[in-house]
Structure 1
Amino acid sequence: MKKPSNLRTWKAIFTLINFGITVVYAADFDQLFQANWAPHHILVQGAQIALSLDSSTGCGFESKNKYLFGKASAQLKLVEGDSAGTVTAFYMASEGPNHDELDFEFLGNVSGEPYVMQTNLYINGTGNREQRHYLWFDPTMDFHTYSFFWNRRTILFLVDDIPIREFANKEKKGVAYPRSQAMGVHGSLWNADDWATQGGRVKTNWSHSPFVVKFQSFEIDACQLSPDGADDPVVKCGKSGQFWWDKPVVKEVNKQRKRLLKWIRHNFLIYDYCQDVARFNDGMPRECLQG
């Protein structure tokens, strides 16, 4: 599937408005991140961080700071070969039962089958907003960039700076929107063979372990809160227009974004919770009913 002719235009425009990115190299991993699960399964290899999963455990890391609004990115190279049952996650999340969360989850595949990329949002502790896509490349062959762009108006999920999903602020129509809880940046690799591959029908083949996923080129340009949690995120980060990501987006960006989102939906979207009438037989989520 060839990419749309306006892809280069979109990426050029997004680069122009996305100035001032703070690039955090792997050499700074220990300053920015900490292991929060099985540190012996996390290996820093020069410019790359390798996470491994075997029959004993997976592993994960989290940022030492939390952020409210901005852009966070990482490059990932996913588990090669038969990765059925495994899940690689790159996500942002606040804490507590009423947490907010933005997810990229990569559901392992049987050799020869395509990876499934699942995105999801939790707002005030409520999720169930999954979309699933195939990718237009093999994510195990090379590194690709996965990003969250988040401001008070919209949330974008991007792959190689191509928008694949948008969640717009519809608070005026009674739809909850994450705008007050600061979130940390996380990565993890774990076993989920009860649901991850073909609905749990295909289990993890541990003879292929350890499964390894690699991260590199972390980029975070966001409103940073103090590690001790003393900052009020709404006070520090909530003033309209004080950061680049909260500036009015030019019409041309909106136009290109809508075209690319439409192209992605037509060619690569395989599941959308807003179209799952059987699942929500008591009523669709409110955002699915809003124009």
Structure 2
Amino acid sequence: MTVGASERLRRRIGDNLQAYAFLAAGLVCFGLFSWYPLVKGIILSFQQDNFVTPPYWVGLDNYRALFADPLFGTAWLNTLEFTALALLFGYAVPFAVALVVNEFRHAKGFFRVAVYLPVMLPPIVSVLLWKYFYDPGSGLFNAVLSALHLPTSEWTQSPKMAMVSLVLVSTWANMGGATIMYLAGLAGIPSELYEAAELDGASVWQRVRHVTIPQLRFIMLVLLLLQIVATMQVFIEPFQLTGTTNPDTITVMVLIYRYAFTVNNDFGLAAAMSVLLFIVLGAFSAVYLRLTRKAD
């Protein structure tokens, strides 16, 4: 072997070792903080464990206890209701806001920052801010309604308004990210498409329907999946605004918290509920991706 070939081989081995070192570090972090908790949670779902006495194996008893709990069905129905309302508001509003902001010729950067600002706030801060707004006694919303001589509301204490109130908080706090993604997609649409549509006499709605939506289809499909997965795991809003005992707003994640930290103090039962949520979201994601791949 010549000196040049030996040197090239040495460099190649050194480069590969460096690459494998970076890959190994990533795999270790991923395994330690992602796969290990996942496997540990699945094992825990088959155990009785309150972190005080030693855990012991109970098999499927945790899952049987879940299906026998009256709150099990209520939590799933509330979670699905929240997800549906969040899609109605949180999926359409960012798209509409992005269309409006994109039409501005001046101060577009300011409006982008203003729309994204709620995302930069810690979630608990946003929820506590809206908790003050919803206060039935001295809250901002009821003060405005009273000033306009309109009937006030109990907001989060009202069975009819509680879920809608939670969705409004979630939409306001999280729509900035989706809006920025839509704005980035809108910036990539060739202006010639809109010019051709205008020459054909297309209205604003027709241009949105036949030009904007098809061009943003991929972004909209990805955001739809991400939003459904995120809203199915809603926790902070119902936990802070309505507590863990309100049957009108108790969600799957709140019920998991109840099992682990309040009523049952049973981490095995909470883990079983988490595994069911993981299975539901995983199955939905797989079916959704398969359907969208076929459509593409």
TM-score by length of 2: 0.22
Relative to its length, the structure with more helix (as a share) is 2
Larger Rg: 2
Larger strand proportion of the pair: 1
